[in-house]
Structure 1
Amino acid sequence: MTKHYPDLSLLFHALADPTRRSILTRLAEAPARVSDLAEPTGLRLPTVMRHLSVLEEAGLITTAKDGRVRTCAIVPEALDPMRTWLDEQRAIWEARLDRLDAYVMKLMKERDR
């Protein structure tokens, strides 16, 4: 039985949007100001702020304010629960496929007799 990760839904929701994924890709290079993150999206600042709020709620980014400038940084270890869950799912399905393969091979050998 796999572990239950309560934040998994937040992570998948945050990564479901292409704008948020592109923001994370940009932040993987280096921390950036909100205005710099908003520029390539073509979206208005309040919309980008909502996207950043979703990413922050999921724990994927942190933000810091210095005067009027808000800077965002990625938190790569926040993806660990998702990676663990996906690895568990992969292991389950690989085991199922191995059993199916063994069963099919058994049937083929029995048919050849």
Structure 2
Amino acid sequence: MTRRLLEIRTYRLKPGTLEAFHEAMHARAVPMLRARGMDVVSYGRSDHEEESYHLVRAYASREALEAEQSAFYGSTEWREGPRAALVDRIETYLNTLLWASGEAVDSMRALNAPD
């Protein structure tokens, strides 16, 4: 059975910033992540709470997560690109790491497509 390490990142956004955050994530950040080879499983608004958002990514291992994120978040493309449009709108965030089967990751991807 193939297994993947899921990083589930939830954001609490500053009031009134959800639409602009989603636009920056959808139009700029997610395409950049995917162009760098990161597996973005799901992202989008929360179904139950105003001003909350999620980003779920899958990795082969903890080492892969650390290497891919270090390369991405240290890049000029990120720092001079959508970073400010996202970071300036975040009040707080929380990361959780969980192992899941490849099938579970695929199901999560299919059932949680962004708006």
TM-score (norm 2): 0.29
Q: Which has the higher contact order (CA 8 A, sep 6+)?
A: 2
**Structure 1 or 2: more strand by fraction:** 2
- Decide which structure has greater helix share: 1
